[in-house]
Amino acid sequence: MGKQESLELLPGTLDLLILRALVRGRLHGYGIAQILKAASEDVLEVGESSLYPALQRLLLNGWVTAEWGASDNNRRARYYTLTAAGRKQLAAERAEFERMVAAIHKVLQTA
């Protein structure tokens, strides 16, 4: 499942990046977008239109769970937490992704 999908760049990759962002602990949607933006040094700006469908997809697959909590400025926010299945998926996807990048890199260098 999903092996071919990860080739279509954004959707599959976004799931991977979200999972990676959640490794350090639970975050709300806005927090995830902030982290991705900061970690990529402002290259990746994830809009709501792709972030929330991705989060729903992760929920549906059981890779993350969601719960309501208070944000830093004391507003109600939904926090996402990585599940065990999510961790496994992250490891698998990450290995796959790195092999793919290495392969692309090699092709680009020889050509």
64 neighbors 54 (Cβ within 8 angstroms): no
| Position 79, amino acid | Y
Distances (CA, A) of 105 to 96, 98, 110: 14, 10, 9
Query: Is 28 near another protein (CB under 8 A)?
Result: yes
Binding to another protein by residue 108, rule CB under 8 A? no
Q: Which stretch binds another protein (CB under 8 A): 15-23, 51-59, 90-98, 102-110?
A: 51-59
* Out of 2, 7, 25, 30, the residue judged to bind another protein by CB under 8 A: 30
Q: Are 78 and 68 in contact (CB under 8 A)?
A: yes
Pair 6, 12: CB distance under 8 Å: yes
The single residue among 8, 9, 24, 47 that binds another protein, judged by CB under 8 A, is 47
Q: Residues in the site for another protein, rule: CB under 8 A?
A: 28-30, 33, 47-49, 52-53, 55-57, 59-62, 68, 71, 75-78
